[in-house]
Each structure stands twice: as structure tokens, then as C-alpha cells.
Amino acid sequence: MRRERHSGCRSRLRSRSAVTVSKGRDDAARADAQATGGKPDEEAVVIESFLAELAAFRDAASGVLGGVAEGSGLEQARIEFLGARSGRLKAIQKLLSGLAAGDRPAGGRHFNEAKAAVTALFAAAQERLAAGGATGVDGAADVIDVTLPGEPVRLGHVHPITQTIRRVQEIMARLGFESVDGPEVEDQWHNFEALAIPAEHPARDPLDNFYLAVARGADPLLLRSQTSTVQIRVMENRRPPLRIVSLGRVYRPDTADATHYPMFHQVEGLLIEPGTTMAHLKSVLRQLASSFLGGDVHVRFRPSFFPFTEPSVEFDMEWGGRWIEMGGAGMVDPAVLAAVGYDPDEVSGFAFGLGVERIAARRYGVADIRDFYRNDVRFLRQF
Ligand code: PHE
């Protein structure tokens, strides 16, 4: 009833932003406006219409709020009249700017009065309900309407790089490789020396590493530039046979671009067992690639060089009809075995290393690895 009265008033309004309660009434308003020669799309609002709109609003609100008998009804009334997004008061507020400049101060005053009045009516209704409903559990049930649909909670999830790390750990565990960790701040022995990278080797250049400032004369520490450090740490403390995999951060002063970042992650694998050959290496890499990317992924070796493996290879995986460079590998160099106290005549094994970002980018079709670190939830939510 009250609503109808209200809509009668608003049909006199000539404004694009007229209060919209339902489509039917909107059509009526348009028809009415056309009958009186006005265009429904006009921006201008005459002060009389504006005040009538306000009066209707107060009228309707006082009727509803005066008669409301339960918490859910009160909340509905609040949304209808005072709702910040699409409440009727909000809609009327939008009309203010359509008033002639001279009418605006008066319009604003009336608007504020109506707002204060209806807010007060709302508070009074709230108090009335609280007083009446405070006697029992029923009262509380009234205030929170348990039949309304709940608001879904937005759950976070594990970062795609961490997902990739866990997946690789899982696959390698099935092949018998135990997951181990190593420190990110390393000494020269573990990052270079024990890996047969001598002092004069270009890989130790200060421009290619993040050395940490230390007291003069001390052996400078650095942020590890590769996870091969963990090979050394494990072999120093254990005897063969060994099957380990280590996934973690490494640091190199590279300029960030689509395929580089000064911090990234590597997978390091090490297997030390009697009779190990390159064929075992290839088969492990192929199993890892096939399980991670899905399907039957082929692996190929290209001759290469690393100080700590002999022979050394770089390996590619065939995926999506193309050969894609994945990482480096080889048989552990006898010099490395000797450095950790193994007898190179007795033990042998293979090692491999590959970039986590690279395989994650392949798997998920990410063109720019910087996206992994921008922390834009719109990107991260996809994984
Ligand atoms: N550590 C090498 C790199 O960072 C990769 C590698 C690991 C190569 C193990 C051979 C064996 O490029």
C-alpha cells in the first residue's frame, strides 16, 4: 500500500536516476513522464518533485519501521530504505545533483532532515525489538535470520610455486628420493669449492653472486646460487647409497624479465648407488617429466659442462611438439666424491638440477615468471 503511494509521487519525477524499486513501476513512470511531455532520461530534477519524493520516503519508512515485528523484517527495511548501495535514500541522494543550483542548499537540508528522521525511526525500531526479544533464545533467532543464504567464505590456497614443489617432491618420493633441505646462506666451500669450482672460476665473480658483507679476512658467505650445495651437505653427513631431492630458493643478480628473476627455485636430485649409469639418470628424468606434465614426455641429452659432473649434459623435454630446455645433469665428478670423503673408485652416482619456475610456467602456460611474484590474487586464484 505504502509503496504504491510512494510510486505515485515518483512518477512525477523527471530523472534518469529515479528511485527504482521494481521494473513495473519504472515503466509506469516512463509512461507518465511521456504523457506530461517530459523525457524520462532528463537529468534535471525540480525541487517540488524532490521534496515530494523525500516526503514519500519518510512516509513509507515510518509506516514500515513502525510496524516491523521481527529482526529479519527490520534488516529488510534497513536495506530498502537506508541501504548504502541501492537503498531508497541513496537513490534520492543521487537526485540532489539534478536540482537547479539555487535549489540545492534547500534540497540538501531537507534531505539531511529526512535522513536523520528515518535513521532515528530505525534506531527506535531496533530498540523496541531488542527490548521485546531479549527475554529468550527466540529473540536472538529473530535478529539473525538463519534461513538467509550465508556469505561464502573466500578460501586461500597454496601458491603455484609451492604446489609445484610439493608435486615434484611427491613424484620423486615414489622413485625413492627423500626430500631434504639446506641453508640459503652458504659458505664458499659448499657453494663452490667442494663442487670443484676453484677460486679463479668466473662463476665466483662478485658480479654474479650475492656475497654478504662480512669482517675483512673472513671467508665471505653468500646467498646460494644453486641447490647443488645440498648434494655436498648430504654426502658429508651420510654414507651411500643415497637418493635425495632438494627444492628451494637460489639467488643470482639477474635483471628480472619474463624468464629471469634474482630469486628463483631449483630442484636438485642426487643418486649415489653402485652401478649407476647415465641411463638411470635419463630414466629418472623421464619419469619425473612424464608424471609432472602428464603423458609420455621424452627427454634428450645434449653434451655440456659443469665443474661438478663428468660427463655433463643439459637435458630437454619434448612437450607440445617442441624440445624445451629444462636443466643440467651428469655423473657426479670423482673430485666431488673425494671432497666429501667418498672413494671415487667405489661409488658413483648422478646429479641433476632444474628450475622450478620453468617447469611451473610450462605446466600452467605462464608466459612471464614475474607473475608468480606479483602477488596479484586475480592471477594466483587461477591455480
Ligand atoms: N647447479 C647447476 C645449475 O645451477 C645445475 C646442475 C645440477 C647441473 C646438478 C648438474 C648437476 O645450473
Element at 352 (helix H, strand E): strand 349-355
Residue 22, exposed/middle/buried by CB under 10 A (0-12, 13-18, 19+)? exposed
Ligand 1 center to 287 CA (angstroms): 19
Task: Name the grid cell of 329.
Answer: 645433469
- What pLDDT score was predicted for residue 25? 43
162-380: which CATH architecture? Answer: 2-Layer Sandwich (3.30)
Mutate to test the pocket of ligand 1, among 306, 309, 354 (most ligand atoms within 8 A of CB): 306
State pTM to two decimals: 0.63
Atom of ligand 1 nearest to the CA of 266: 4
- What pLDDT score was predicted for residue 7? 37
Q: What is the C-alpha to C-alpha distance for residues 168 and 153, in angstroms, rounded to an integer?
A: 30
- What pLDDT score was predicted for residue 28? 44
- What pLDDT score was predicted for residue 215? 60
Ligand 1 center to 266 CA (angstroms): 9
- What pLDDT score was predicted for residue 129? 85
- What pLDDT score was predicted for residue 216? 63
Decide whether any atom of ligand 1 lies within 6 Å of the 353 Cβ.
Answer: yes
**Which residues, 6+ apart, have CB-to-CB distance to 314 below 8 Å?**
301, 302, 304, 325, 327, 328, 329
Cis upstream peptide for 241 (omega within 30°)? yes
Q: What is the C-alpha to C-alpha distance for residues 141 and 122, in angstroms, rounded to an integer?
A: 19
CB-CB contact of 311 with 282 (8 Å): no
Residue with cell 609445484: 164
CB-CB contact of 289 with 317 (8 Å): yes
Q: What is the C-alpha to C-alpha distance for residues 171 and 176, in angstroms, rounded to an integer?
A: 9
**For ligand 1, atom 4: residue with the closest CA:** 226
CB-CB contact of 65 with 89 (8 Å): no
Decide whether any atom of ligand 1 lies within 6 Å of the 352 Cβ.
Answer: yes
List the one residue out of 317, 314, 308 whose CA is nearest residue 286: 317
How big, in percent rounded to 5, are the helix, strand and coil portions of the chain?
50, 20, 35
Amino acid symbol at 77: A
Decide whether any atom of ligand 1 lies within 6 Å of the 330 Cβ.
Answer: yes
Q: What is the C-alpha to C-alpha distance for residues 307 and 279, in angstroms, rounded to an integer?
A: 21
Which residues belong to CATH 3.30.930.10 in the chain? 162-380
Q: What is the C-alpha to C-alpha distance for residues 113 and 91, in angstroms, rounded to an integer?
A: 16
Give pLDDT tens digits along the chain (383 positions). Answer: 334 444 333 333 344 443 434 444 444 444 444 444 444 445 688 999 999 999 999 999 988 888 888 888 898 999 999 998 889 999 999 998 899 999 999 999 999 999 999 999 899 888 888 887 544 444 454 577 888 888 888 889 999 999 999 999 999 999 999 999 999 999 999 999 999 999 999 999 999 999 998 766 678 899 999 999 999 999 999 999 999 999 999 999 999 999 999 999 999 999 999 999 999 999 999 999 999 999 899 999 999 999 999 999 999 999 888 999 999 999 999 999 999 999 999 999 999 999 999 999 989 999 999 999 999 999 999 99
Decide whether any atom of ligand 1 lies within 6 Å of the 328 Cβ.
Answer: yes
